[in-house]
Structure 1
């Protein structure tokens, strides 16, 4: 949220901070059949989309540090690089990853340059050539090298064999896009992607076309829009055996054309970070990491990311065009004057920093373009931060005998993915190789950790480098994975259930196998290992007595009739029992009331093993959450979700964590740093919530934060409030075991928020290990919104009320304490009926504790208050609110807005 954009993955990732979750829910909604989300058209129309549970993900190498690009050798070796220069190989024979060499690359701060990419030669089986794209230095001069090396069959890199094939100039002080991907076509031509190497921040997310003096690094007209510059391009060359290269026919500018570079195949790119070439058609694909503007402005439109295709050489418009060929406007950065729109059919590059042709080729359209907000054309792509990348086109090969190869269903599908939104889609093209449809890949069980590069292996499986959760740090979940398809018998899933896992010797435990198999009819067998490493039972649901104290790891192996199996485990602790913690209170334990009041309590702790209850091991606190994450709030004695705070839950659902951590800095400041900086700023909520929505930079360095126009002002404010609360020293003051605390923090928020009273005790460990028991009382406002009911029967829930309530309909609020409650107030409307509201406990026919008659209000929009007496039956109960009217007509009797529980 604050200062995201690792230099637009400056080298890599784009757009930061705003929504989505670790995997989005893909939703349709387009009425345009052209862009509808639908199954891929296949060679055989009878092919059905494979079930997600037929795909398995195997982690080949874990705990990587900024993995960047991979390449697969014909013998199955997987080569991959990390941005800091580490070059690895995964050997499928040994199933081990080894560091081959650490390149002495120039990796500027956390965000760009360094090792940018790698690929293997098309004739690798015979020549053992590898190509690396990295930032090299010679004194104070820096360039991007595409170098060729030779490697042995035992994965020893010959450093003396380096041949620098081509150099790309770089303005190293510019923390901006560097591209770095490489791919080959069927004619053994090498494609190389380069970014525009331009500072994007002062352009406010629009076209960086600053023509003022001494602003050379602030204009992409010198690079992406310059026909005589290799940056902001996709180059195409033909490497030769001696380390030189030739120019293939059909590049954008014929060799010898004045003020052009013949290596250019595609120009007008901002940051084409991942590219691929379809081996069958020779067509080039790439994901274009787009600019940051969240809304349209006078100088141009909002930012878009793009999936692009080049059937032949062309200009793709940047920095004059974005999205579906939407032109920017001439803009004078000195006077702020806005001029005419750029000409799509041949923009003129009039920048003083342009060394190429003035008249540029016409701009080409992308396959797909999508903004921060939900796209009207492609709503299923979600919303929020963007970082488009393009993977391979898959070609099904029946000759490949590997059992894990991708199915024929995905034949000719283009796999595209988004680093920030954390998804992979399979895109289908029509007979003319134009966009036709797309659908999510492994939507339900992908568990992607920000895909960075995807390749199809010689075995037909997908290999993916996953960068990990947070940009710019050494993520523990960064990894190399393989995705296999199982079209036949699948292994079962082992699962253990027990009533309890903690007790004293001799401790008898009843185990239940909740295992299952996705293949209907498979017969399962079971092997239980309780202790000593020996199989203790082959029953499905055995019992076992642990006679000695200790911590035991119980193993269950479940095998189907074909021999496929899976295992799971459960830890059983013998030698201690869980402490007992009780919170006794003479106050109401469900509600707090409009005025300040006292909450009196007494915490009672018992422990079977501890002779003396240590006060130091008891923790008691009361915390107030101003706004909660769910309207259907928890109540009573129960554990509180870690994302119960509304602002915290919004951040958890967003991609904020891609660029921010709570305590540690990544590409953006930590939330704690933000909280400390703005701790005394009374306008912090307003200022920061505006910045989250509109984007901006300059406070935490040169990197800007993306705009998040999809967020409402209220939601952005709640996110800021949570961040600012991190430095509140008195958020959870320690309380004594017994006493009284004043409930007054809600007075400014009235009918929102929750008080969370928590008591926890950690015992001395008994004969094994300490155990902690925590009890919580959650106090909610006495004025309860009817739509927050826990259970409905023949009642409709809207966002603000309950309606369509008929004779016999009821709704339920669970686990309610009526201590000190004497009356209810209903806020209701009824267009034309009279009736009765009854309150029963524990069932719709349970003890009647309240009844009141209601009269018509004359209009559904006219809400009035209705008072009713209620009796306290003692203890906690589920309250059933039952509406009755015996005589007909007796449908649509009443709608209820809220209910107030009064003392």
Structure 2
């Protein structure tokens, strides 16, 4: 996410390139709508476990668009030019042709889309949307080919249907989607082909000389240009085309193009036509701004619906026709809002009519942040894809067709957010409601195209996790519905899976069946394929050394089966490794008494432990530049884990990898660039929220206003930690260590002591030799603990580095604290006008009290003071609960905690000497 490019694979809202991938959510191959006389069930939602997702073709490279033929063949294309077919009979994918297209990373064009003719069974026509270049002219071409019965593409049959010029230097918004209506009309989506990166995430309407590629008024807002549109044409047998009635501009109308059905599009990346109503649906990739500004509204992605030809507003309007201001890019002067009822295009780059049709607002629109109108869409990066509409066919003989519950539902999906929604419309085809499709088991990997097959199953292309690279999880998948008996789920459990022969293992069985009435049978195999038991929970003794795979096969009455496996290792036992210290095992004390440690290793099989093979290392995780907070707590680093988790749950990985470059820089590149910048943490944490560009090239990072400053700070800290990799120093299995002063008692750092041992393996065991490893870890943290590092909060909130909103009986907890050598606790705090007591309990909020302090008000929240109290060591490690108590039981907003300082006698003396200058 740093910087998470909003202009990523696909333009604007999510990432400005999204137009570049083609589309094609056509209805070709879809079965006919259900006759009006057939009643279908749209009330009982089917269980999600009745849907099965099957990978048909894996490890693709930037898959773009697919089309399913009536005979079940699945055709699909990759941006670099490859055209494939998946054969459902042979269950194999075959490369049919590699188009010599203009497809380079800088320009993000190439083979963008494909579709099949509505009469494909008879004429074998395929249509491709791809980029060509002749001398200095770059064009998008929609061409028709014939595919032969042997799955070879007849190159000599190519007919160029329609072409239009593009500005190749613009690396965004190329559209590429194609689909059909029931009248045989071909719909084609085109992007606005405009640089979005220097408009601050608002309308790109820069009219300055030499800046025409920064002005979408020349394309999307121009009725005499085919870019930023959805076109509708009728392809004739000879490859020419005619104009159907009902397009936006009549043929022969001055300053307009008759091919235009919809204008005012930024990047209509996926389009679809409902075969029952001929209504057009599409996903529109919106602009980048995460907040409203002087130039106009923040960015929104849209799901649009065109019941008739119309103008959808870009670049003058966004979302539900929210208007931008007229803006002078030379003087930065902001003037009046554009009028959605009568928009006018006065740009010098407009070659068409100036007076434009009134705008039509989006059906669904949503920003980076939570949408007030459509909150179920969530938050994060945006990349809207639209279609198809599913029509249940009761007469279709298919065991896998999507059920009647989804009849007439529009399916829309988001490339960045990895979800699919089923949208419900009323009798007038107006938006009614939506619900997630397969929210728990879908595991969608950047859905980039979705279509309905002739058997009523869904087919989907998944682009894969990261934009612009050859993703291992880029794939073609099919989603089937199972209306009948479901496969049972086998699940083995076992506790004692490692030991000496004879090893007796009591196996558990947590298998289950979704069809509750099914009586399951069990087949256990422990050594090879021989059936050993049919009990539910057998016990088995392995008498010889070796590595075995125990398997459980579960079968239901219909014969459906599933198998679970468990590895059993016989002939050895795990070594035991333990780090011990007579000193404190939670905190380190710089430049004071050496830290004493020893590592004990025992192994039942190894008669003598070779101490040279006990691997012990002291690892220092250093301070991060510009970071005043701790980077961790407990196991290694809480902030490291928190920041890593926040990034994993966001859209960051779509644009960034840890070490490799994608559309954005790697995280390690970012960390190295800002390593010595003490202000970088705050600056980048803010940039994640507001978005922006200009540092790493032309691409902009998406805004993330849904994230808090605390969350983005943790993300930046994790990224910075990647170049501060721990320095491992081998040390003896026992010794004394003086922990260096350079760490600093308040530095965001950790010392990590690790010990590991690999035993000699079992004797007489076949190769591979059964050697087992065990390790132990001890993490030492500074004695100064910022409030934000509390492990658990009750009725308390985090306020930056501090804890606040602390009331009577509020508490926070620190986990696993050793108080060896600690006899005093100091609080750095503020309290405007309250006096109360803090009691420290062990292991629960009502456990034994080991410290009590009464503090007094400091007068203002900005006034901080120290208060100290003795603390008793109960021995061992304990969870410490800090409970606030107001005698009258009515206290509100009692306390703000900056940090805690755990002190011992020697530490207190050293601090006193420092203060007195000794």
* TM bucket normalised to smaller: 0.7 to 0.9
**Which of 116, 120, 138 is equivalent to 1:120?**
116
CA drift of 1:698 comes to 3.1
Q: What displacement does 1:428 show?
A: 1.3
Q: Mark the CA change 1:83 to 1:541 in structure 2 (over 3 Å): closer, same or farther.
A: same
Whether the aligned pair in 1 keeps the contact of 2:65 and 2:114 (CA below 8 Å) is: yes
Q: Which moved more, 1:496-505 or 1:383-392?
A: 496-505
- Structure 1 contact 116–180 (Cα < 8 Å) conserved: yes
Match of 2:554 in 1: 558
**Secondary structure of the corresponding residue to residue 535 of structure 1:** coil
Checking the alignment, whether the CA contact within 8 Å between 2:615 and 2:730 is kept in structure 1 is no
Q: Which moved more, 1:783-792 or 1:488-497?
A: 783-792
What SS class does the counterpart of residue 435 from structure 2 fall into? strand
**Aligned counterpart, 1:15:** 15
Equivalences for residues 381-780 of structure 1 within 5 A: 381-592=377-588, 599-608=595-604, 612-613=609-610, 615=612, 618-624=615-621, 635=634, 644-728=640-724, 731-737=727-733, 738-742=735-739, 747=744, 749=746, 755-763=751-759, 768=769, 770-779=771-780
Cα drift, residue 587 of structure 1: 2.0
Distance 1:394 1:822 in 2: 70
Task: Note closer, same or farther for the CA distance 1:183–1:758 as it changes in structure 2 (3 Å cut).
Answer: same
Q: Tell me how large the CA RMSD over aligned residues is.
A: 4.0
Deviation of 1:749 after TM superposition, in Å, equals: 4.5
State the match for 2:158 in structure 1.
162
Question: Which string of whole-angstrom CA distances, capped at 9 and with x for unpartnered residues, describes residues 533-575 of structure 1?
Answer: 2222222222333344443333222122222222222223334
CA contact (8 A) 1:527 1:537 kept: yes
CA contact 2:300–2:367 (8 Å) conserved in 1: yes
* Alignment equivalent of 1:90, drawn from 86, 111, 114: 86
Residue equivalent to 2:876: 875
Q: 1:378-421: CA deviations, max 9, x gaps?
A: 22212221111112111122122323222222111111111111
Matched-pair contact (CA < 8 Å) for 1:546–1:574: yes
Partner of 1:290: 286
Deviating more after overlay: 234-243 vs 372-381: 372-381
Deviation at 1:710, TM superposition (A): 3.2
839 and 6 in structure 1: CA distance in 2 versus 1, 3 angstrom threshold: closer
Equivalent pair of 2:10/2:285 in contact (CA under 8 Å): no
8 A Cα contact 1:287 1:389, kept in partner = yes
Q: Is the 8 A contact 2:858 2:864 kept in 1?
A: no
Distance change (3 Å), C-alpha of 1:828 and 1:489: farther
8 Å CA contact 2:400–2:482 kept in 1: the answer is yes
Shift of the 735–395 alpha-carbon distance from structure 1 to 2, 3 Å rule, reads farther
Count of paired positions: 867
CA contact (8 A) 2:590 2:738 kept: no
Q: CA deviation at 1:144?
A: 1.4
Q: TM-score, normalised by structure 2?
A: 0.85
User: Distance in 1 between the 2:856 and 2:692 partners?
Assistant: 54
The alpha-carbon distance between structure 1 residues 233 and 742, as it changes in their structure 2 partners (threshold 3 A), is same
State the alpha-carbon separation in 1 of the partners of residues 751 and 867 from structure 2.
28
Please give the alpha-carbon distance, in whole angstroms, between the structure 2 residues aligned to 1:620 and 1:75. Answer: 63
Aligned-partner Cα distance in 1 for 2:690–2:830: 40
Q: CA deviation at 1:732?
A: 4.8
Distance 2:885 2:682 in 1: 48
Q: Give 1:284 shift.
A: 0.4
| Residues 842, 877 of structure 1: 8 Å contact kept | no
In structure 2, what is the Cα distance between the partners aligned to 1:662 and 1:145? 37
Aligned position for 1:316: 312
2:101 is the counterpart of 1:100: no
Question: What residue in structure 2 maps to residue 819 of structure 1?
Answer: 820
* Residue matched to 1:214: 210
The reply to whether residue 173 of structure 1 matches residue 169 of structure 2 is yes
Q: Structure 1 residues 611-620 or 302-311, which shifts more?
A: 611-620
What SS class does the counterpart of residue 198 from structure 2 fall into? helix
Summarize the Cα distance change of 1:601–1:110 in structure 2 as closer, same or farther, 3 Å threshold. farther
Query: C-alpha displacement at 1:192, in angstroms?
Result: 0.5
1: CA distance, partners of 2:539 / 2:895: 52
How does 1:248-259 map onto structure 2 within 5 Å?
Answer: 248-259=244-255
Given that 2:271 and 2:385 are in contact with CA atoms closer than 8 Å, whether structure 1 keeps it comes out as yes
Gap change, CA 1:897 and 1:516, over 3 Å in 2: farther
- Residues 171-210 of structure 1 correspond to what in structure 2 (within 5 A)? 171-210=167-206
Question: Does residue 362 of structure 2 align to residue 366 of structure 1?
Answer: yes
- Within a 5 Å distance, the mapping from 1:794-873 to structure 2 comes to 800=803, 815-822=816-823, 839=841, 850=850, 871-873=872-874
Give the aligned partner of residue 348 of structure 2.
352
Deviations 1:833-876 (A, max 9, x none): 9999685679978xx674869799999x9999987765545434
How far does residue 12 in structure 1 lie from its aligned partner after superposition? Answer: 9.8
Query: How far 1:522 sits from its partner (Å)?
Result: 2.5
Rounded Cα–Cα distance in structure 1 between residues aligned with 2:372 and 2:867: 46
Q: After alignment, is 738-747 or 516-525 more displaced? A: 738-747
- Distance in 2 (CA, whole Å) between partners of 1:521 and 1:830 is 65
- 5+ residue gaps, structure 1: 18-41
